[in-house]
């Protein structure tokens, strides 16, 4: 399963407003995104690339009505002719608006207090799930892109991660515990130290009325399996973010399945999950590219547990 994005994340990646993205889809048929089981839009990497390309062509002087329907190769030729060089095929973050922009500006200034205040305001305005989908995930995506292209420093990335981790963990601890509900054990595998994704999932699962047992990051397979046995967990959730090439992780995942047995569901998310797709498929794990898919599946799984 390829990675997919919500419209809020796509807005950050492309510099287009959600309203414009919807208009280019409906009015000009510029693209056809996928849909979740609850009929929410989901966008693939090729959708992000196409939207970014259309935006660059429109910014160069063409009208959206003239170019929206064109195949990608013709759009690339238009861009190449206009720029007099090789067309770009990588989406870039070129405009930060609203709550996401406020968060990214705070990160740029290394201002942890303002970053947390922006998260608080965003939660009040959008609700918890809206804050996660339309603020936290776009901010994480923008930070990741900034880290890759050198526009965000190590200190900025560390500050952002620390504030997000603290804020989300405090939010997780404030959620009511559904003591009689099925238990979901959440962690990251050995050598996976990034836990923000796991905290996001923990909050979503609590909203879906699961009894969430959060074990923190970097847990060996034997410990995960033993915790599942002791708690009677109905499912295991794993976040896999970085690195993409951990040579020991496939063995850890295979060992986890062996220790758990064949019947316990293993649910996996995170931007590095696709790098381990073969082993995840071999152990029968279910991989989710977005929160909507994960949330929908949790609801279905709870009814059969």
The band of 291, judged by pLDDT with boundaries at 50, 70 and 90, is: confident
Q: Looking at the structure, tell me whether residues 57 and 139 fall in a common domain.
A: no
The overall longest dimension of the chain from CA atoms, in Å, is: 64
Q: Looking at the structure, tell me whether residues 133 and 202 fall in a common domain.
A: no
Would you say 211 and 277 are in contact if contact means Cβ atoms under 8 Å apart?
no
The pLDDT of residue 14: 79
Secondary structure class of 117 (helix, strand, coil): helix
The pLDDT > 70 percentage for the chain reads 92
Q: Which residue has the higher pLDDT, 271 or 187?
A: 187
Helix (H), strand (E), coil (C) string for 245-280: CCCCHHHHHHHHHHHHCCCCCEEEECCCHHHHHHHH
CA-angle at 86, arms to 95 and 104, nearest 5°: 15
Final residue belonging to a domain, choices 146, 173, 200: 173
The band of 88, judged by pLDDT with boundaries at 50, 70 and 90, is: very low
Flag whether 192 is in a domain: yes
Q: Looking at the structure, tell me whether residues 152 and 209 fall in a common domain.
A: no
> Where residue 286 sits, what CATH number does that domain have?
3.40.50.280
> Where residue 134 sits, what CATH number does that domain have?
1.10.1240.10
Flag whether 282 is in a domain: yes
The band of 1, judged by pLDDT with boundaries at 50, 70 and 90, is: very low
Final residue belonging to a domain, choices 49, 83, 117: 83
The pLDDT of residue 31: 86
Q: Looking at the structure, tell me whether residues 277 and 188 fall in a common domain.
A: yes
C-alpha to C-alpha distance for 292 and 296, rounded to whole angstroms: 6
Quote the number of domains for the chain: 3
DSSP 211: E
Measure CA 4 to chain center: 8
What confidence tens digit (pLDDT) does each residue in 205-254 have?
999 889 999 999 999 999 999 999 999 999 999 999 888 889 999 999 99
> In 10 A of CB 89, how many CB atoms?
11
The band of 66, judged by pLDDT with boundaries at 50, 70 and 90, is: confident
The pLDDT of 269-296, averaged and rounded, is 88
Q: Looking at the structure, tell me whether residues 68 and 118 fall in a common domain.
A: no
What confidence tens digit (pLDDT) does each residue in 109-167 have?
999 999 999 999 999 988 998 899 889 988 998 888 777 667 788 999 999 999 999 99
Q: Which residue has the higher pLDDT, 97 or 40?
A: 40
C-alpha to C-alpha distance for 172 and 193, rounded to whole angstroms: 18
Q: Looking at the structure, tell me whether residues 242 and 280 fall in a common domain.
A: yes
Going by C-beta distance under 8 Å and a sequence separation of 6 or more, which residues neighbour residue 154?
none
User: Which domain covers residue 277, as residue numbers?
Assistant: 176-303
Give burial (CB, 10 Å; 0-12/13-18/19+) of 195.
buried
Would you say 67 and 58 are in contact if contact means Cβ atoms under 8 Å apart?
yes
C-alpha to C-alpha distance for 228 and 183, rounded to whole angstroms: 9
Most confident of the ranges 26-35, 203-212, 286-295: 203-212
Flag whether 298 is in a domain: yes
Flag whether 92 is in a domain: no
Flag whether 186 is in a domain: yes
Flag whether 184 is in a domain: yes
> Where residue 62 sits, what CATH number does that domain have?
1.10.1660.10
The band of 288, judged by pLDDT with boundaries at 50, 70 and 90, is: confident
Q: Looking at the structure, tell me whether residues 110 and 216 fall in a common domain.
A: no
Q: Which residue has the higher pLDDT, 44 or 88?
A: 44
Final residue belonging to a domain, choices 152, 173, 194: 173
Q: Looking at the structure, tell me whether residues 107 and 73 fall in a common domain.
A: no
CA-angle at 42, arms to 39 and 45, nearest 5°: 160
Alpha-carbon dihedral sign for residues 214, 216, 217, 221: negative
Flag whether 88 is in a domain: no
Q: Looking at the structure, tell me whether residues 165 and 193 fall in a common domain.
A: no
Q: Looking at the structure, tell me whether residues 48 and 165 fall in a common domain.
A: no
The beta-carbon contacts of 22-31 under 8 Å, at least 24 apart in sequence, are 24/51, 24/54, 24/64, 24/68, 28/64, 28/65, 28/68, 28/69, 29/68, 29/69, 30/54, 30/64, 30/68, 30/69
pLDDT greater than 70 at residue 183? yes
Q: Looking at the structure, tell me whether residues 280 and 217 fall in a common domain.
A: yes
> Partners of 287 in the beta sheet?
268
Flag whether 265 is in a domain: yes
Q: Looking at the structure, tell me whether residues 278 and 181 fall in a common domain.
A: yes
């Amino acid at each position: 399963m390829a990675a997919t994005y919500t419209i809020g994340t796509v807005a950050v990646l492309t510099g287009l407003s959600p309203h414009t993205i919807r208009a280019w889809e409906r009015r000009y048929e510029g693209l056809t995104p996928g849909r979740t089981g609850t009929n929410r839009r989901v966008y693939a990497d090729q959708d992000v690339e196409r939207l970014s390309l259309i935006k660059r062509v429109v910014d160069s002087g063409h009208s959206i009505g003239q170019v929206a329907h064109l195949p990608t190769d013709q759009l690339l030729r238009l861009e190449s002719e206009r720029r007099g060089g090789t067309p770009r095929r990588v989406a870039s973050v070129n405009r930060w608006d609203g709550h996401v922009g406020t968060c990214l500006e705070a990160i740029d200034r290394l201002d942890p207090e303002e970053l947390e205040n922006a998260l608080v305001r965003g939660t009040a305005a959008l609700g918890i799930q809206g804050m996660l989908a339309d603020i936290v995930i776009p901010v994480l995506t923008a930070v990741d892109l900034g880290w890759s292209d050198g526009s965000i420093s190590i200190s900025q990335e560390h500050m952002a991660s620390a504030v997000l981790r603290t804020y989300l963990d405090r939010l997780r601890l404030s959620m009511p515990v559904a003591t009689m509900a099925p238990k979901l054990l959440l962690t990251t595998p050995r050598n996976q130290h990034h836990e923000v994704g796991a905290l996001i999932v923990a909050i979503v699962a609590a909203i879906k009325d699961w009894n969430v047992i959060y074990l923190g990051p970097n847990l060996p397979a034997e410990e995960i399996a033993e915790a599942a046995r002791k708690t009677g967990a109905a499912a295991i959730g794993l976040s896999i973010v970085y690195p993409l090439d951990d040579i020991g992780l496939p063995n850890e995942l295979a060992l986890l399945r062996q220790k758990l047995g064949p019947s316990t569901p293993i649910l996996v998310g995170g931007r590095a999950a696709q790098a381990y797709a073969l082993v995840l498929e071999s152990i029968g794990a279910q991989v989710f590219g977005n929160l909507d898919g994960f949330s929908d599946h949790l609801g279905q799984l709870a009814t059969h547990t």
